[in-house]
Amino acid sequence: MKNLQEQMLHELETKSDLTAAHDYAKSYIDTVFDRNIYPSEEALENLKHFEEGLPEQRGDSSEILELLNTHGGPATVATLGGRYFGFVNGSSLPITLAAKSLSTVWDQAPAMQVLSPIGSKLEAVVENWLRQLFNLADNTAAGFVSGTSLANFCGLAAGRFHQLEKLGWNVNENGLNSSPKLRIITGNQAHSTVIKAISLLGFGYKNIEWVDTDDQGRIIPSQIPELDDSCILILQAGNVNSGSFDDFKAICQSASKKGAWIHIDGAFGLWAGATKSLSHLTHGMEHAHSWAVDAHKTLNTPYDSGIVLCKHPEALKSALHMTGSYIVKGEERDGMFYTPEMSRRARIIELWAALKYLGKEGVSDLVETMHHRATMFKNEISKVEGFEVLNDVVFNQVLVQCETDKLTQHAMFNIQQERVCWVGGSQWKNRKVIRVSICSWATTEDDISKAVASFKQSLAKAKKQ
């Protein structure tokens, strides 16, 4: 029997596992666009095949892949296809899957330029492209992180550093215990990851100054308290339920003049700013100081991929700063100065491939098409007796309600059971709602029709239950 190293060298040489993985991947793609969106009961049941104790002995690589293919693939949620409308979950553009597949074997870690010249180069290139796409200042810095949870954290960390520095306090050196007090101001519809970031940064969420929002979930500008150098104001591009945008034109410029740091959580909505017909939604956002946005949502790159953008590179780099005697500084860009982590995967490769493939025009087209599909869904479902749409469909989100909360919940349960599409629930104005989030390049008009038919049938069934 070969020793471990000999065995692995042999596997590498034959490449049979890579070939098998590739073939399995191809057949997955052949079926995933048409199959049940949520795993069948049988597929869920078969997950028991993974329940075992820690293996004592070495396994067989082809059997491992076969197990994954046979019982793993069917238990995936088909978020890649066109009828997954849960949460705000992007699909993946075909080019990004291919680029990810190639770069998987590169296994790059773009912490420093010297560690991955290609990773570092693509981060520098994409940073520049993002400034252009979102019309941001030339020195805007970008950090490439796992998602908007972390991007919110980074933007707010930069704001914390910058505001305290203005007040004569270095938070890196002195911490928060006896620092000047910062005020955190946000809308009562802020995303839960914003609240988490506020807690992680030591502000304490009980200290948040909450601002009232209107019927669409937008901050009411006149309700924002008096602002000054001690303030961090957090706004939103894309409410996770209604998809609405805070009025940046009315808020950002004057808040900035008063000395507040403005952070925008634009997880899926910031991309409106990169379109031809929807960019009015983000007008004024350029007056903010930091922005968080996902690539794995609206832009449809594979998981995980988020971006923090910051108008003050020094504040971002200072907040996320690190030193070490073995660090080698590059000439162009060392990614770790813009992120909390030192080691990260080179997710920039898929992001670069997406933007290179789409171009400015393609990004606009992709996002506008999602909006059109959401509008179509709104129009079609409004014609079905028993459903009502509650929000203005300004972007990709549709909130649907039945006559009673009970009917809404039963209808949603039936839709999920039918598996033609998948939608989740939420709470809106103290009522239960079904959230429909159109976030896939692959959603066709036919997908919308199929989903509406499933809604109709599921409500009819709920009325009989």
Ligand X SMILES: *Cc1c(COP(=O)(O)O)cnc(C)c1O
Single out the segment in contact with ligand X by CB under 6 A; choices: 116-124, 141-149, 248-256, 311-319: 141-149
Per-residue x/- marks for ligand X, 61-90, CB under 6 A? ---------------------------x--
191 binds ligand X (CB under 6 A): yes
Q: How far is the CB of 247 from ligand X (least distance, A)?
A: 16
Distance of alpha carbon 40 from alpha carbon 38, whole angstroms: 6
Distance of alpha carbon 425 from alpha carbon 432, whole angstroms: 7
Instruction: Tally Cβ neighbours within 10 Å of residue 372.
Output: 16
Distance of alpha carbon 203 from alpha carbon 217, whole angstroms: 24
- Please, which residues have CB within 8 angstroms of residue 354's CB and are 6 or more apart in sequence? 93, 95, 96, 295, 299, 300, 301
Nearer to ligand X, 112 or 262 (CB): 262
First and final C-alpha spacing in the chain = 62
Nearer to ligand X, 113 or 298 (CB): 298
307 binds ligand X (CB under 6 A): no
Q: Which residues, 6 to 35, sit near ligand X by CB under 6 A?
A: none
Q: Which two tokens stand for residue 82?
A: 């066109």
Q: How far is the CB of 269 from ligand X (least distance, A)?
A: 7
Distance of alpha carbon 417 from alpha carbon 403, whole angstroms: 21
Residue number closest to ligand X, CB atom: 147
244 binds ligand X (CB under 6 A): no
Using CB under 6 A, pick the residue from 103, 149, 301, 364 that binds ligand X: 149
Q: How far is the CB of 193 from ligand X (least distance, A)?
A: 4
Nearer to ligand X, 148 or 454 (CB): 148
| DSSP secondary structure string for all residues of 203-252 | S-GGG-EEE-B-TTS-B-GGGSPP--TTEEEEEEBS-TTT--B--HHHHH
Using CB under 6 A, pick the residue from 148, 186, 397, 414 that binds ligand X: 148
Nearest to 260 by CA among 295, 213, 225: 225
Our measurement of the distance from residue 214's CA atom to the centroid of its chain's CA atoms, rounded to an integer in Å, reads 25
Using CB under 6 A, pick the residue from 186, 193, 301, 401 that binds ligand X: 193
122 binds ligand X (CB under 6 A): no
Count of chain residues binding ligand X (CB under 6 A): 13
- Taking a C-beta distance cutoff of 8 angstroms, is the pair 439, 271 a contact? no
Nearer to ligand X, 143 or 147 (CB): 147
240 binds ligand X (CB under 6 A): yes
Distance of alpha carbon 381 from alpha carbon 378, whole angstroms: 5
306 binds ligand X (CB under 6 A): yes
238 binds ligand X (CB under 6 A): yes
- Taking a C-beta distance cutoff of 8 angstroms, is the pair 415, 438 a contact? no
Q: How far is the CB of 213 from ligand X (least distance, A)?
A: 14
Interface with ligand X (CB under 6 A) = 88, 147-149, 191, 193, 238, 240, 265, 267-268, 294, 306
